[in-house]
């Protein structure tokens, strides 16, 4: 029987790489996203809307009868310190990054519990464990993701449901380019120079590609990781080891 994976935010970037990784492993994959990606089964879903997430997950269960893996990938980046973070910006970051994962996990757990099987992988960041300047709300949201992985792992181990977080470092995605473009527009910096500097900050001398992060996600969802739960996995080129 084919395994079924649900990926939030699977239309581009790391999410699309995860979709591709699951497809390569023979999974039936559903992407819950506000826009359609090039691969996988698309379910139009805004992860900040709990009713929409419940409906999307129920649609998958109705079609497939099971959910073996859930990847909470949908997220947004925001750069600002605490004084310059408006309540609207704060709510937007928390709604997408934290509530979106909360809604998806909560919706998938009943069918996983009934099957006594499931793997949940949350997309964190190097900021799950460290702080960076000008990153108040985003950093807070990623620390919350780390907590969610650990507490969910403990609460649902009795049902043979595992939960882990992948703590990705700087990764070349559309989100990355959007952030760099915004910085260059504000500062007047040259994008090629900034991109090179970002790579030089990593011990391996470059930033990650989405597929390199996706490889860890798919591994954690697989039976090869059957005794791994409640843990944070850095895929950051050594950045947080410094």
Residue 78, phi then psi, degrees to nearest 5:
-150, 130
Other residues' Cβ atoms within 10 Å of the Cβ of residue 231? 15
Other residues' Cβ atoms within 10 Å of the Cβ of residue 10? 32
Which tokens hold the place of 22? 């699951």
Q: How far apart are CA 150 and CA 154, in angstroms?
A: 6
- Size of the chain in residues: 242
Q: How far apart are CA 61 and CA 63, in angstroms?
A: 5
Catalytic residue among 138, 156, 176, 239: 138
Q: 3-state DSSP call for residue 61? A: helix
Q: How far apart are CA 32 and CA 221, in angstroms?
A: 18
Q: How far apart are CA 168 and CA 212, in angstroms?
A: 9
Q: How far apart are CA 41 and CA 35, in angstroms?
A: 12
Other residues' Cβ atoms within 10 Å of the Cβ of residue 59? 15
138 is catalytic: yes
CA atoms within 13 A on the CB side of 146: 17
Q: Which of the residues are catalytic?
A: 138
């Amino acid at each position: 029987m084919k395994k079924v994976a649900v990926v939030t935010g699977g239309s581009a970037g790391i999410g699309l790489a995860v979709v591709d990784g699951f497809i390569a492993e023979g999974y039936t994959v559903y992407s819950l996203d506000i826009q359609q990606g090039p691969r996988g089964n698309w379910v139009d879903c805004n992860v900040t809307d709990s009713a929409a997430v419940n409906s999307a997950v129920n649609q998958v269960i109705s079609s497939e009868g099971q959910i073996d893996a859930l990847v909470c990938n949908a997220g947004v980046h925001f750069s600002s310190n605490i004084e310059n973070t408006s309540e609207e910006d704060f709510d937007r970051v928390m709604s997408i990054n934290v509530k979106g994962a909360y809604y998806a996990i909560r919706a998938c757990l009943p069918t996983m519990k009934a099957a006594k099987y499931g793997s949940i992988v949350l997309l964190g960041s190097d900021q799950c464990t460290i702080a960076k300047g000008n990153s108040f709300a985003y950093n807070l949201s990623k620390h919350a993701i780390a907590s969610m992985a650990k507490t969910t792992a403990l609460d649902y181990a009795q049902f043979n449901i595992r939960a882990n977080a992948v703590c990705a470092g700087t990764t070349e995605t559309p989100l990355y380019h959007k952030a760099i473009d915004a910085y260059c527009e504000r500062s007047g910096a040259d994008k090629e120079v900034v991109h090179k500097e970002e790579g030089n900050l990593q011990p391996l001398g470059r930033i990650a590609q989405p597929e390199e992060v996706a490889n860890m996600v798919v591994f954690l969802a697989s039976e090869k990781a059957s005794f791994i739960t409640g843990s944070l996995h850095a895929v950051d080129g050594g950045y947080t080891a410094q």
